[in-house]
């Protein structure tokens, strides 16, 4: 791949990750009720989950902005872990395993982008 093609691919990853985290963040900030049960599955009460969902939403928006403007491996690692964990909790909350499978891109795209960034830094 040429450097220009790699740059375009990086921007595609940045935009895709940012849109994913911005969308999820805004749903959380707006108080999507179905997400409360995911926190209940891991041991939080409904009264604890409500403000946590909003806080998580703001965190997701911050991740989106950082990935778009100045991505780094630590933010991408967080995005991978967080997206994987939030996808994985769905079957434990009574949803189908397909709810996890469907969200594979939410953690796989940041993983692919991290691999590209790591490859670039090791080549220098």
User: How far lies 121's CA from each of 102, 111, 118, in Å?
Assistant: 31, 15, 5
Q: How many domains does the chain contain in total? A: 1
DSSP H or E run through 74: helix 73-92
- pLDDT in the model for residue 1: 82
If you average pLDDT over residues 46-53, what whole number do you get? 92
pLDDT in tens, 62-121: 999 999 999 999 999 999 999 999 999 999 999 999 999 999 999 999 999 999 998 877
- Domain containing residue 51: 3-123
| Average predicted confidence (pLDDT) for the chain | 94
- What is the pLDDT at residue 124? 60
Torsion angle in degrees (nearest 10) through CA of 87, 101, 109, 37 = -10
Count CB-CB contacts under 10 A for residue 61: 19
37/95 Cα distance (integer angstroms): 11
* Whether the predicted pLDDT of 123 surpasses 80: no
* 3, pLDDT greater than 80: yes
Closest CA to 71 of 4, 11, 120: 11
């Amino acid at each position: 791949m040429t450097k220009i093609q790699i740059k375009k691919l990086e921007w595609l990853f940045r935009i895709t990750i940012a849109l994913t985290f911005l969308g999820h963040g805004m749903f959380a900030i707006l108080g999507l009720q179905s997400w409360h049960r995911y926190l209940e599955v891991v041991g939080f009460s409904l009264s604890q989950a409500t403000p946590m969902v909003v806080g998580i939403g703001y965190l997701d928006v911050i991740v989106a902005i950082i990935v778009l403007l100045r991505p780094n491996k630590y933010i991408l690692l967080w995005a991978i872990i967080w997206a994987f964990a939030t996808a994985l909790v769905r079957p434990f909350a009574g949803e189908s395993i397909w709810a996890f499978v469907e969200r594979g891109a939410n953690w796989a795209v940041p993983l692919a982008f991290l691999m590209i960034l790591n490859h670039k830094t090791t080549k220098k």
